[in-house]
Amino acid sequence: MCESLWPRSFQASAGGVTMIFDLPEEVRKGLEEAQKRDLKRKNRLRLAVGDDVYPILRFWADGFALDAEDSPHIRGFVDIFDGSKHLYQCLIVCSSLENRERVYTFKRQTAVTGEAPLDFYRDETAPIALLR
């Protein structure tokens, strides 16, 4: 079962005084929705699977997280975009479900370049063109 992003009660200290706050269920749900909405709005990273596109909430070196409510269980080859810029082609697997986020890990992550890779050595001092 997923834990809530916001605890039922928490402690706050200021000036040596510790206070314990109990949050009503409606307030906690409102805070969770606001936090999720801000993450979606702030982050431009998107995951593309065929024609479907999902916003990435968090991204790190070996994985990323999607909203568990908005995304299905995805496994396989996907593309990651920053706005309209194609960043990575990845092979992913869903690793866990944490705090209403579906966490994915990379099996393979390849950066996309603007040119095709060469299958031969290009000498840096070689002429670019032959003039006659």
pLDDT in tens, 55-114: 998 899 999 999 888 888 999 999 999 988 999 999 999 889 888 889 999 999 999 987
The CATH number covering residue 77 comes to: 2.40.10.430
104, part of any domain:
yes
% of the chain residues with pLDDT over 90: 36
pLDDT at 1: 38
Q: How many other β-carbons are positioned within 10 Å of the β-carbon of residue 47?
A: 22
14, part of any domain:
no
47, part of any domain:
yes
Full domain range(s) for residue 63: 19-111
pLDDT at 32: 77
State the total domains in the chain.
1
Closest CA to 64 of 85, 50, 82: 82
Strand partners, 10: 21
Local confidence band at 31 (pLDDT 50, 70, 90 cut-offs): confident
13, part of any domain:
no
Higher pLDDT residue, 76 or 126?
A: 76
61, part of any domain:
yes
40, part of any domain:
yes
132, part of any domain:
no
- As a whole number, the mean pLDDT across the chain is 81
